[in-house]
Amino acid sequence: MDQQLIKNRFNIIGNSSALNHALNVATQVANTDLSVLINGESGVGKEVFSQIIHALSARKHNPFIAVNCGAIPEGTIDSELFGHEKGSFTGAVDSRKGYFETVNGGTIFLDEIGEMPLGTQARLLRVLETGEYIRVGSSKVQKTDVRVIAATNKDLLEFTQKGRFREDLYYRLNTVPIRVPSLRDRKEDILLLFRKFATDFAERYKTSSVQLTEEAKEILINYSWPGNVRELKNIADQISVLSTEKSISAQNLRDFLPENNYSRLPALSGGPGAVSQAEFANEREILYKLFFDMKKDVNELKKMVFDMIQNPMMAQSIPVFNPEMGNQNAITPFNATSSINTNNYSGNQQPLIITNKPQDQIQHHEDVEESLSIIDKEKELIIKALKKHRGKRRDASVDLGISERTLYRKLKEYDIEHL
């Protein structure tokens, strides 16, 4: 079956190579009875792939049922899957058929298979290997012909090493693995999906669809999307119903994205050739690296000056810019015994004083630790912005790249008085 027809039939939006590969595997395995294990983060649409496999298989006219293993209490999951006899446990007032009996000849989709108890895993393994099962409270072996498709957002192989999942069941389920890509791994599909969700909302409620500016599109593409397609649809619906403007700017979009997943740091200042804040998904790590690199450079410079003091001959060979010559290309040899004209320095700048004291008179050199706290730097930037705009919070928040509400919260958080 043509892949585009499958996408249209099951309402799948996107053309990324990872998504197309997952669809190819699903269509190729559909006509077999092999067990399939679908891997992917929460919200990527794993159940849709199970429906595709069933719809393209010879079992398509037989029942299909999706079971969330994580939503069924451990004490009742055996009864739900395999059924029970009357009086087998408290509350069993009548006999009951399980899913493996009612879906005989069809397909059962076991979502969140990693949450299944170990005892139930043993029962499931027997069904997969022999097609046999026993109702709870019964001794009669029954047969079933059910295809099992499982899905998980966990690392089942790691679970097997920790004893939380049976290794034999893992390899029995993982006959054909399908990896559904996360939304951040198919960035080329994000704008298509947003447009589809916004258009659907507009058609449903007879209104005009919202449009994104170029800056907003960039933010949308570079957001991490921990909730994947489900989260993107929620954001599109929120913007469509709550935004007073139909043209969504970057600042408008930031108001709808969760701060803890987007950024708690002020935005980088704009300008020609400036990189947008959306490209910095790991701003905190970038700033840490910047601060540590600066500290390293300063300490190396201190060490070099200290070495030159100890070895004047080495210092004479190092070219140093001479400010009196007024030309950056003009350099003069640096000499540890040279005098330094302090009149060249003004303001708060302090000249570097070099003396040729004997080595035994030189005090021990120590690295001065500087503050690398992200909170201190953020607080410092907020205070600077408020001073720059004479205490106007709205202008300061725009300059920082955060909402006025966020700025107000940070003023309270850092106990910053109104400037």
Domains of the chain (ranges, CATH numbers) = 3-181 (3.40.50.300), 185-262 (1.10.8.60), 285-341+349-361 (no CATH), 374-413 (1.10.10)
State yes or no: pLDDT of 357 exceeds 50: no
Q: Across residues 254-271, what is the average pLDDT? A: 58
What distance in Å separates the CA atoms of residue 191 and residue 14, rounded to the nearest whole number? 9
pLDDT at res. 347: 44
pLDDT of residue 267: 44
**For residue 411, pLDDT beyond 70:** yes
Stretch 372-388: mean pLDDT: 80
pLDDT per residue as tens digits for the range 314-335 = 555 555 545 455 444 444 454 4
- The pLDDT assigned to 386 comes to 85
Q: How confident is the model at residue 369 (pLDDT cuts 50, 70, 90)?
A: low
Tell me the whole-structure pTM to 2 decimals: 0.61
Question: What pLDDT is recorded for position 234?
Answer: 95
Tens of pLDDT, residues 4-50: 999 999 999 999 999 999 999 999 999 999 999 999 999 999 999 99
